[in-house]
């Protein structure tokens, strides 16, 4: 257990992900050709699309952790749930920011009420709310169960949010998949996707470890009375 | 089923005894409608066009007060623990409370309609479909609202947490209910009311099922 918690694998994963991200970004910014209609603005796709994939992956993993916690009641799933929700919220926020940076020169507006944009914004608030709930509950068991329940409810809500906004209004271009993207753009896109995946996986593992340590301090029994009084007596003795 | 009816009777009785609170929540909803109309200005065409949106926003804001109240009463004198000791399933308690919340919100929505008609000149003669939309919309609000108020009533900062958790979740209810009510007020030449009402129904079914499935874990752990 001690060896596992000391494992350097997450750090190595983050480092290798960062290296991949550097290679992919250099390729995307300097080597890959510019897109015919959008020009250099399109190059934000090399981080935007992988961020979108990984944000969905992180929140899906959070949902899996929530279900696993309610079934097994093993604390490791609660630790992973906390880490995955945080990662999902951060990636979704990054996604909205990158989208706004791309939308201004392309659509002429920072924001549009398009289904995917609005759904991502709703996910930020829905899962951000769960993080706030965690911060307000002191009892570890209640915190774990409630955030797992809230995570399942919020995740089940995502498709309905998406379809309701899609019926309401639509402007976003078709989803980017290898079929809709030119072959010249594939390599940097894939390298960055794996780069962000490795960085996120490493960070989620490290964050889950931190959550585990905090949990250990929360549910640890209080220091025995005897030891505290013994220490006080020793201190008094040495002072006299 | 009998347990659900007994729980519902208990919650409706509690609401009846605390009816001063219901009147206060209605006054809050009517006040928000008045404030929203001031934000638009005196242009009657704009007021009419935005009436449905403001009606549902007023109802949504008022619903957080009403939903929070439902479980705060159960926290007094540890009433919830007493309820859980009864030989009735937590699921029955959930459905009883959620139906009572839905009834209270639907009543509140119905009471806010005349206020909207007066302030926004947004009347409709299609009262039965309007009643149906209000019922489906409030069913969608009360199912996750009851589940979340059970959690937040037991925490610090409960008045902040309930809207924080509930508002992003009920975006589909807000969109569909506003669209459906707008179609009833402004006319529905393309026959779009049915798909929006179906969306409201789908949301309500999903969240009532999830609530019934997960509520026991929220109150029993």
B108 pLDDT tier (thresholds 50, 70, 90): very high
Q: How many helices (H) and strands (E) does chain B have?
A: 9, 0
| CA nearest neighbour of A9 among A196, A192, A205, A200 | A205
Residue linked to tokens 């007023």: B58
What integer pLDDT is reported at residue B131 of this predicted model? 93
Average pLDDT over residues B122-132: 86
Instruction: For an interface test with A, give the residue of B150, B168, B217 to mutate (most A CBs within 10 A).
Output: B168
Domain holding B180, by residue range, is: 2-220
Rounded Cα–Cα distance for residues B54 and A133 (Å): 28
Rounded Cα–Cα distance for residues A41 and A39 (Å): 6
- Asked if the model's pLDDT at residue A169 lies above 90, the reply is no
Enumerate residues 6+ apart whose C-beta is below 8 A from A126: A154, A157, B165, B168, B169
What is the number of structural domains in chain B?
1
- Asked if the model's pLDDT at residue A33 lies above 60, the reply is yes
Average pLDDT over residues B56-77: 87
What integer pLDDT is reported at residue B142 of this predicted model? 94
Chain B CB contacts of A132 under 8 Å are 160-161, 164-165
Quick check: A136 contacting B, CB < 8 Å? yes
Among B161, B214, B217, the residue with its CB nearest the CB of A133 is B161
ipTM score of the complex? 0.86
Residue linked to tokens 């007994």: B6
As a whole-number percent, the residues of chain B with pLDDT over 90 amount to 47
- Asked if the model's pLDDT at residue B57 lies above 90, the reply is yes
From residue A90, alpha-carbon distances to A47, A193, B24, B78, B113 in Å are: 14, 16, 40, 38, 41
Instruction: For an interface test with A, give the residue of B71, B137, B144, B172 to mutate (most A CBs within 10 A).
Output: B172
Higher-confidence position of B49 and B18: B49
- Asked if the model's pLDDT at residue B190 lies above 60, the reply is yes
What integer pLDDT is reported at residue A151 of this predicted model? 95
Residue linked to tokens 């899962």: A127
What integer pLDDT is reported at residue A173 of this predicted model? 53
**Among the listed ranges A6-20, A172-186, B17-31, B111-125, which one has the minimum average pLDDT value?**
A172-186
Q: What DSSP letter does each residue of B63-130 carry, written as one string?
A: HHHHHHHHHHHHHGGGHHHHHHHSSS-HHHHHHHHHHHHHHHHHHHHHHHHHHHHHHH----S-HHHH
Rounded Cα–Cα distance for residues B221 and B219 (Å): 6
CATH 1.20.120: does it fit domain A12-172+186-210? yes
Beta carbons of B161 and A136 less than 8 Å apart: yes
From residue A212, alpha-carbon distances to A79, A203, A216, B151 in Å are: 6, 14, 6, 23
Rounded Cα–Cα distance for residues A83 and A79 (Å): 6
Sign of CA dihedral B166, A122, A151, A199: negative
Q: How many helices (H) and strands (E) does chain A have?
A: 8, 0
Rounded Cα–Cα distance for residues A81 and B202 (Å): 28
Give the three-class secondary structure for B162: helix
What integer pLDDT is reported at residue A171 of this predicted model? 46
Among A125, A132, A149, the residue with its CB nearest the CB of B217 is A149
- Asked if the model's pLDDT at residue A214 lies above 50, the reply is yes
Among A141, A153, A164, the residue with its CB nearest the CB of B172 is A164
User: Could you tell me if B162 and B67 are in contact, meaning their C-beta atoms sit under 8 angstroms apart?
Assistant: yes
Instruction: For an interface test with A, give the residue of B171, B206, B207 to mutate (most A CBs within 10 A).
Output: B171
Average pLDDT over residues A209-229: 75
Q: Please classify residue A108 by burial: count the beta carbons closer than 10 Å to its beta carbon, then call 0-12 exposed, 13-18 middle and 19+ buried.
A: exposed
**Among the listed ranges A6-10, A86-90, A203-207, which one has the minimum average pLDDT value?**
A6-10
User: Could you tell me if B8 and B96 are in contact, meaning their C-beta atoms sit under 8 angstroms apart?
Assistant: yes
Alpha carbon of B194: minimum distance to chain A alpha carbons (Å): 13
What integer pLDDT is reported at residue A36 of this predicted model? 61
Beta carbons of B207 and A125 less than 8 Å apart: no
From residue A34, alpha-carbon distances to A95, A103, A181, B187 in Å are: 21, 17, 13, 48
What mean pLDDT value characterizes chain B? 88
What integer pLDDT is reported at residue A240 of this predicted model? 45
What integer pLDDT is reported at residue B86 of this predicted model? 80
Alpha carbon of B86: minimum distance to chain A alpha carbons (Å): 22
Rounded Cα–Cα distance for residues B193 and B183 (Å): 7
Beta carbons of B147 and A153 less than 8 Å apart: yes
Rounded Cα–Cα distance for residues A183 and A26 (Å): 17
Rounded Cα–Cα distance for residues B90 and A174 (Å): 45
- Asked if the model's pLDDT at residue A153 lies above 90, the reply is yes
Enumerate residues 6+ apart whose C-beta is below 8 A from B14: B73, B100
Average pLDDT over residues B113-137: 90
- Asked if the model's pLDDT at residue A1 lies above 50, the reply is no
Domains of chain A, residue spans: 12-172+186-210
Q: How far is CA B174 from the centre of its chain?
A: 11
Beta carbons of A146 and B151 less than 8 Å apart: yes
Give the three-class secondary structure for A159: helix
Rounded Cα–Cα distance for residues A157 and A150 (Å): 11
Report chain B residues touching chain A, CB-CB < 8 A: 144, 147-148, 151-152, 154-157, 160-161, 164-165, 167-169, 171-172, 175-176, 179, 195-196, 199, 202-203, 206-207, 210, 214, 217-218, 221
Average pLDDT over residues A186-207: 90
């Amino acid at each position: 257990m001690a060896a596992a918690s000391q494992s350097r694998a997450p750090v190595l994963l983050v480092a290798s992900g960062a290296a991949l991200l550097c290679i992919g970004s250099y390729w995307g910014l300097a080597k890959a050709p510019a897109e015919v209609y959008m020009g250099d603005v399109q190059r934000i796709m090399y981080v935007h699309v992988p961020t979108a994939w990984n944000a969905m992956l992180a929140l899906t993993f959070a949902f899996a952790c929530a279900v696993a916690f309610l079934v097994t009641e093993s604390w490791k799933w609660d630790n992973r749930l906390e880490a995955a929700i945080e990662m999902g919220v951060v990636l979704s926020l990054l996604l909205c920011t990158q989208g706004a940076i791309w939308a201004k020169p392309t659509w002429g507006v920072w924001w549009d009420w398009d289904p995917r944009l609005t759904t991502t914004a709703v996910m930020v608030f829905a899962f951000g709310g769960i993080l706030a709930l965690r911060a307000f509950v002191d009892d570890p068991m209640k915190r774990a169960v409630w955030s797992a329940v809230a995570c399942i409810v919020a995740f089940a809500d995502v498709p309905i949010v998406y379809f309701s906004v899609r019926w309401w209004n639509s402007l976003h271009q078709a989803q980017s998949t290898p079929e809709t993207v030119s072959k010249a753009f594939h390599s940097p896109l894939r390298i960055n996707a794996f780069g962000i995946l490795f960085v996120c996986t490493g960070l989620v593992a490290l964050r889950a470890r931190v959550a585990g340590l905090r949990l250990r301090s929360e549910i640890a029994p209080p220091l025995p009375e005897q030891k505290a009084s013994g220490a006080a007596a020793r201190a008094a003795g040495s002072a006299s | 089923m009998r347990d659900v009816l007994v729980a519902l009777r208990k919650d409706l009785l509690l609401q009846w005894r605390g009816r001063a609170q219901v009147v206060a929540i209605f006054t809050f909803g009517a006040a928000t409608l008045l404030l929203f109309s001031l934000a638009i200005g005196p242009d009657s065409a704009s007021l009419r066009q935005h009436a449905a949106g403001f009606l549902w926003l007023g109802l949504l804001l008022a619903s957080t007060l009403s939903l929070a109240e439902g479980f705060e009463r159960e926290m007094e004198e540890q009433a919830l623990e007493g309820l859980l000791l009864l030989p009735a399933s937590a699921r029955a308690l959930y459905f009883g409370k959620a139906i009572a919340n839905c009834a209270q919100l639907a009543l509140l929505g119905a009471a806010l309609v005349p206020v909207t008609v007066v302030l926004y000149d947004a009347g409709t003669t299609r009262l039965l479909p309007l009643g149906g939309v209000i019922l489906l919309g409030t069913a969608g609000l009360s199912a996750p609202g009851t589940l979340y108020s059970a959690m937040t009533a037991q925490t610090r900062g409960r008045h902040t947490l309930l809207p924080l958790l509930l508002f992003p979740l009920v975006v589909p209810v807000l969109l569909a209910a506003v669209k459906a009510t707008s179609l009833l007020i402004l006319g529905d030449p393309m026959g779009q009311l049915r798909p929006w009402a179906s969306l409201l129904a789908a949301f309500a079914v999903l969240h009532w099922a999830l609530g019934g499935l997960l509520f026991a874990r929220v109150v029993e752990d």
